[in-house]
Chain A
Amino acid sequence: SQELEQSPQSLIVQEGKNLTINCTSSKTLYGLYWYKQKYGEGLIFLMMLQKGGEEKSHEKITAKLDEKKQQSSLHITASQPSHAGIYLCGADPQNDMRFGAGTRLTVKP
């Protein structure tokens, strides 16, 4: 089955700093999803990447998909306290969804 490994597991940054979260798949990625979860709450969809080399942005969050490396990265520019939470990547081989363990982001004011 497809495994997704996220790094780092947790991250503490000062407000205003940039950061990157990585998601590496054990198998070929045909689609990669990024979700954000506030502690103990449901997930909120951020973006979906479907083609190798694809890059999408939403406000100050940019995600890229590198199919050759079976990897996706999520980059946050000028982090703010509102970016704090758990970021999860997901993949769906055949509508059965797999998620990474998540990266817990803390942004210090």
Chain B
Amino acid sequence: EAQVTQNPRYLITVTGKKLTVTCSQNMNHEYMSWYRQDPGLGLRQIYYSMNVEVTDKGDVPEGYKVSRKEKRNFPLILESPSPNQTSLYFCASSLKGTSYEQYFGPGTRLTVT
């Protein structure tokens, strides 16, 4: 089944404790992206990747890192999480870019205390 998977689905952590949210797709897509969704602010793009080893900042990249060493994986790294990074995070992928249908993962709900 074609899908985007994210892990973990739920995470509660403390300020400053490094964490990684994994994202994997099995559709051989070149484009992958991370978004965060907050009430009243909608869905905002954090980082995106056009292909392996190519990443670019989205709208709200501060406090996040990403890497794209393999085509299928696009982990999101929070080196020192803060409470303002409490949010619902989505990973997405598409064949070549946003002009193609994006497939979204189920979301990761992160709480930073």
Chain A contact residues, CB within 8 Å of chain B: 1, 31, 33, 35, 40-45, 48, 50, 88, 90, 92, 95-102
The tally of residues in B whose CB lies under 8 Å from a CB in A reads 30
Count the A-B residue pairs with Cβ separation under 8 angstroms: how many?
Answer: 69
Tell me whether A45 and B31 are in contact (CB under 8 A).
Answer: no
- Label chain B's interface by main secondary structure: strand
Known contacts A95-B50, A96-B48, A97-B98; is-contact A88 B42 (Cβ 8 Å)? yes
Q: Is the interface of A mostly helix, strand, loop or mixed?
A: loop
Q: Which of B42, B44, B59, B90 has the most CB of A within 10 A?
A: B42
| 7 A-B contact pairs sorted by A residue (CB < 8 Å) | A33-B102, A42-B90, A44-B104, A50-B99, A88-B42, A95-B31, A96-B58
Q: Which residue of B is nearest A102, CB measured?
A: B42
The residue in chain A whose Cβ has the minimal distance to the Cβ of B109 is A40
Interface: B107 (CB within 8 A): yes
A95 and B105 CA atoms in complex are apart in Å by 19
Q: Give the residues in chain A near B98, CB-CB below 8 Å.
A: 31, 33, 90, 92, 95-97
Instruction: Among B44, B103, B106, B109, point to the contact of A99 (Cβ < 8 A).
Output: B44
Q: Give the nearest-CB partner of A91 in chain B.
A: B98
